[in-house]
Structure 1
Amino acid sequence: MSHANAALTPRARLTVARLVVDQQVPIAEVAARFQCSWPTVKRWADRYRSGESMQDRSSRPKTSPHQTPLKIRRRIVSLRLRLREGPVQLAVRVGLAPSTVHQILRHCRLNRLAHVDRATGEPVRRYEHPHPGSMIHVDVKKLGNIPDGGGWRFVGRQQGGRNRIATPDKARNHHHNPKMGHAFVHTVIDDYSRVAYAEVHNDETALTAVGVLERATAWFNTRGVTVERVLSDNGPAYRSILWRETCARLKITAKRTRPYRPQTNGKIERFHRTLADGWGYARCYTSETERRDALPGWLHHYNHHRPHTACDRLAPITRLTNLPGQYI
């Protein structure tokens, strides 16, 4: 292979060949002048006479008699998608070396199980809508409320239990222990830009979900984004008449995922994981109020400062245009 500092680059090879063929300079003299062997000079001269390129040829052989047959390669791919086993297990089934099986899976881009859908075994199909507002995803993330003094994840189960008992104004279960209840984080994320909007409420009723949708739509409108479609799961709030009427009033097409297929709404499911790691359980909150007060600040960091791999490692807000004050 040639490189930048090679003695005979493609341009130098052409010069060598022209000296020998056009100017009839002896091969030995040209070889001494360019400090290479005479067979090398003769090879480039012969290529020049036949009109071939001076570029390097591929080292790939014309035939590969020991290549794995196509039938076996197809069987490896079929077993990978159906059983989702590793190269060692598949190698025993087909009678090949694990390294050979791994090379075949890598060539088919199936060497990682993350590339395969866990439920169906089919390759993961990714999509992205063409512009902001073309599709927004909505869902609810359910988190347990934090007692005053901190939850058991950070202070331990014993101290966490004491904090639950000491938290005032809580109902009791049949064991006379206080019920802390849950925080329902209603989240909205734009499919194209990954810009997110979220609110924390004490329930996930249709009335609350509709209010979040109205405020989220207005929030996106102030940023130059017109919502056209909304994708949700099959929860009671999203199957309600109130939800359908609200979407019609806002001129938004309501869509729902297939039952028992959260992968269809995978973007917001992945956002929930980021939300839990970056905000929900990021540090020791001494109360539920403290955690809820920290949500707007984390959302600003996520939208304006956190690099996102789907946005070429830029912040999601960079995919929106004509923001207020963007060009000032």
Structure 2
Amino acid sequence: MIGMLNALVEFIDDHLADEIDVEALARELGTTEYHARRMFSSLAGMPLSEYIRRRRMTVAAAEVLGDGELLGIAVRYGYGSTEAFGRAFKAVHGVGPGDVRRAGGPLRTQPQLRFRLTVEGNTPMDTRIVDRSSFRLIGHAARVPLIHHGVNPHIQAHIAGIPATEHARLKELSSAEPAGLLQVTDDHEPDSPEGSELTYLHGVAVGEGTPMPGDLDAIDVPAGTWAVFRSSGAHPAALQSTWAATATEWFPSNPWRLRPGPSIVSVLDRSPDFSSATCELWLPVERGES
């Protein structure tokens, strides 16, 4: 996987002035666009689309400092007008190309990324691979912004608004694995930036043919393979560390890749104040090409 990401970065740098077909490139590198974008975002800390924009504007800045026509530079980097190019340029550098041409800066450089695998092996990951037939996730859903670190207050508020009696009712409806009350995230791009919206569902898993109460939301999940990671400790820090380690340690070392589908957290045990918990993180996967 590390080799794939470095090859992706090399190709991008060699084609910054071209339209980049990430789907075709990922296929040539033996993976999928979904997996490539998810792994890039997890390891680089930014969406692939944002990295491409930053690299383009870094290289374009050298041309802006020259005496070429700004419209010609804009077109060369895929923008139909100087206005569109100027907005993208300012989003990266903080000032417009005209200001840089007059004053020589300021400029913010995005270096070319290099991915390296650091093997530590000091914390074995408790993982199992599960083949599941199709099932349904039911519960109470809401659209919330994506937050990578710490507690998401929007999800907290959503859960707090669900009556205690409803939590008990949902537990009684649970009839399939993953067991118990579930925290489900779905319906977002593979490399979504922080702040972008996703669907969060607080609910349970049931068999595909289970009758569903009309007052609940549902996500139908097709049959497939899942990688299940167990975490235990301070919550949500331990769970978030496990989530990060799937990208930095597990996927680079195993012949699996992410596929589209919801991410599911099953809380197996927790302290009364939820300051610590034992959880299972369910990620949809498929076997990668050898």
Into which bin does the TM-score normalised by the smaller protein fall?
Answer: under 0.3
Higher RCO (CA-CA < 8 Å; seq separation 6+): 2
Choose 1 or 2 for highest CA Rg: 1
**What is the TM-score normalised by the length of structure 1?**
0.20
When normalised by structure 2's length, the TM-score is: 0.22
Between Structure 1 and Structure 2, the one with more helix by share is 1
